[in-house]
Structure 1
């Protein structure tokens, strides 16, 4: 249901985020749909109540469960769950359960705290400790298993989902030959063996990406400094169809790779996106070709005539364009920009302030769609870190506050919109948050009222019980033999690791 284009920046001291959005807000960060459910008017869930366990402050009536926790839960192979959680995505499993791909932003080696176990056939480099795990939960968020998706990569920060239902995980580092994108297939686990970097997407400090489902162009953000990072666009070569594993088969020079260059109304190149402070600022966009994608002659962002920004973070495709976050614009206020490929323009749609219902909110990081409409924002600031919602009318309300002294990562609703999963980065905990979420009304002519039914949101799960802040941890250290017996009993609802699903 569309909304007239208008400025929604509230100047009241009660508003923490000013938002100007064009078109339907519920479509802002979710995949386009022919008949999307209508959003409801959610104005918030009330003040946050501190958790006696010191984990998550939530509104009254909300609860959480721990799905995975570094060193506490165990992988299918019997290893302690890795930590340093970051970007994630959720996918609907064929059997009605949920598959989650979770990044682990480990910068050191395989013996560092939180490192992803080096399972045979899944290791890119023996000296690196980052990677991804694949987690299967019930529709209610109960842990079924966790296994290694890829290991031996470094600093796996964010990434993005693909229209062909896989996850592209990004290395946020250029050190020691790293700085690539890798594909992880949650459905066909054997497809993740013998990992190879996707060199056609360049080597730089990757943060996040989003994919145009029509043209299959990929937009990538770069979180870097000295100089600051930029946004890149990759356009596929003729014949590219978008299938699992196809990207890594391309050569480094395949397709077109270019960096963002914005000009203002006077035709001058905009060197820094932070120069814009007014909602509705519009720049004209050109793309500067980048030839040295492997960065053999220096960092890609050193190119002349491009536009940069401090801490470019989340990216999401919606409204026929790419939304990207600049987290550090003007002392952590942060910005959200929208690139319209049809018009070749970049528009400032969202500017952060500091207060939201008594909670200090700053430094937007990942942005995703709420299952019931509007947005969910994860923050990574200098003070308290939050999950915050933004209504279609621009009102901001708190959903959760971290009491663990670390940032929120990878938030998103389950495919049915019933559960919000989010991680705390250190030491690494994946939570499932449930409560009296609002529901979207189904579009006319459909028989389903399930919000967020696409596979383009982040991690997914469910919580048990009612009341505030209940905590149920997952299984602790099961033996491999016992786990295998459990799988034989549960094979009707769960596919064991290393077994491909029957059809793609």
Structure 2
């Protein structure tokens, strides 16, 4: 994509040309966001005189935390690479934020190793936890888990914990690690020592991205963002203790991968509304990938279904939704697309392609590579677009109308060739009065307030 074209759009706030095909209303069935908005958006973005975050008129932000600042706990500096995040309600209007740090071996600021919370002393990633009062003032900031690697996304549990996912397959002895990586870890946002740093090994060892839990039976759905062919799989984990609760996932369970008969690659499906009613779930031969990464393993003569860039995942109504950010045939996918959202209905065993993202007629326009997605308070979605050039948070109404919600202004390039860090970790406070969002680089966490319910 042309960065120059994107920079022009960034200056003008234009978002014309984004196309969303499919049934947007399907995404919001059974959710509080299904009420919809009277109009698309909150107006044009207003340039921020501080050069941090452009928002519509009437909205304002508070910087909660920036990489390199000192954490209030005294445990060290705020780590780099702010990524996935979730917000949990607390006492007296407090909010607990849990934030991933996607630190690899070259991270500038590691998550400090804290006794009782560190999995592998050589791992630089992990999570930090912030406690906010009702006015979004930071009351506390501390390490929630350390010694992990490449903590990308994850997902909240119905019992109020965070599942942080390692997006790596590195084993002990690789890159200096002393333990195998590629696991999910459970984090208690209010008291991290209750969960410690215990890998949930039965949930698989692979390049995890995000998870979503069926609140009715505790089944956990997991996406895999593999960087090269064969691409990732979509999984479900059947827990031994389906009723859930803090620590219940440690009891184990069985891991299965999704097979869509006759569809080895989801990118080959291009028409919204396309549905498959015979979805199968196949036991993973070796969930720990002791010798062979799961996506390379033998799933029998029928094979298994892959997809490029499987990222966001959330539960809505009676279904789980997951995102394929893009597919590129020149990288090995069966076909090209600019982003898809799939819906799986467990009761019907039906998989449906419900939304396709992409430019309308001009490939230079934004609208591709959806990444983080969350439900918005006034209806629709908030989508973090992860592409080149200017970085936005876009809103999408239940009618499919697109509007700009935020634009990053922190230039990490040069005046001649500017660049901006992607957005990540979009989530809302329990009362939907505040949107929390991260800028990945430089690591910055914002709290955005304003007339959300207008």
Which TM-score applies when normalising by structure 2? 0.85
C-alpha distance in structure 1 between counterparts of 2:44 and 2:396, whole Å? 15
Q: Which moved more, 1:204-213 or 1:323-332?
A: 323-332
Q: Contact 1:285–1:345 at 8 Å: present in 2 too?
A: yes
Correspondence for 1:180 among 183, 188, 203: 183
C-alpha distance in structure 2 between counterparts of 1:90 and 1:285, whole Å? 33
Distance verdict in 2 for CA 1:359–1:98, change over 3 Å: farther
SS, match of residue 93 in structure 2:
coil
Offset of 1:14 from its aligned partner? 3.7
Distance verdict in 2 for CA 1:103–1:319, change over 3 Å: same
SS, match of residue 329 in structure 1:
coil
Correspondence for 1:166 among 157, 161, 165: 161
Partner of 1:329: 327
Correspondence for 2:355 among 350, 361, 376: 350
Q: Contact 1:359–1:398 at 8 Å: present in 2 too?
A: no
In the alignment, structure 1 residue 386 sits paired with structure 2 residue 392: yes
C-alpha distance in structure 1 between counterparts of 2:96 and 2:189, whole Å? 6
Residues 145-224 of structure 1 correspond to what in structure 2 (within 5 A)? 145-176=140-171, 177-193=180-196, 195-224=197-226
Offset of 1:70 from its aligned partner? 0.3
Q: Answer 1 or 2: higher relative contact order, Cα 8 Å, separation at least 6.
A: 1
Partner of 1:432: 447
Offset of 1:349 from its aligned partner? 0.8
In the alignment, structure 1 residue 101 sits paired with structure 2 residue 98: yes
C-alpha distance in structure 2 between counterparts of 1:396 and 1:22, whole Å? 11
In the alignment, structure 1 residue 279 sits paired with structure 2 residue 272: yes
Distance verdict in 2 for CA 1:122–1:186, change over 3 Å: same
Offset of 1:385 from its aligned partner? 2.0
C-alpha distance in structure 1 between counterparts of 2:41 and 2:286, whole Å? 48
C-alpha distance in structure 2 between counterparts of 1:379 and 1:210, whole Å? 21
Q: Contact 1:329–1:335 at 8 Å: present in 2 too?
A: no
SS, match of residue 92 in structure 2:
coil
SS, match of residue 175 in structure 1:
coil
Offset of 1:247 from its aligned partner? 1.4
Offset of 1:353 from its aligned partner? 1.6
Unaligned runs of 5+ in 1: 1-12, 264-268, 440-504
SS, match of residue 91 in structure 2:
coil
Offset of 1:205 from its aligned partner? 0.3
Residues 219-230 of structure 1 correspond to what in structure 2 (within 5 A)? 219-224=221-226, 225-230=228-233
Unaligned runs of 5+ in 2: 1-14, 172-179, 329-335, 411-419
Q: Contact 2:154–2:165 at 8 Å: present in 1 too?
A: yes
Correspondence for 2:305 among 299, 307, 320: 307
Q: Contact 1:207–1:221 at 8 Å: present in 2 too?
A: yes
Distance verdict in 2 for CA 1:23–1:47, change over 3 Å: closer
User: What are the Cα deviations for residues 319-371 of structure 1, in whole angstroms up to 9, with x where unaligned?
Assistant: 21110000013566100000011111111111112379x97232101111101
Partner of 1:494: none
Number of residue pairs aligned between Structure 1 and Structure 2: 408
Offset of 1:208 from its aligned partner? 0.1
Q: Contact 1:372–1:417 at 8 Å: present in 2 too?
A: no
Correspondence for 1:143 among 135, 138, 163: 138
Q: Contact 2:260–2:304 at 8 Å: present in 1 too?
A: yes
In the alignment, structure 1 residue 64 sits paired with structure 2 residue 67: no
C-alpha distance in structure 1 between counterparts of 2:88 and 2:212, whole Å? 16
Q: Contact 1:201–1:293 at 8 Å: present in 2 too?
A: yes
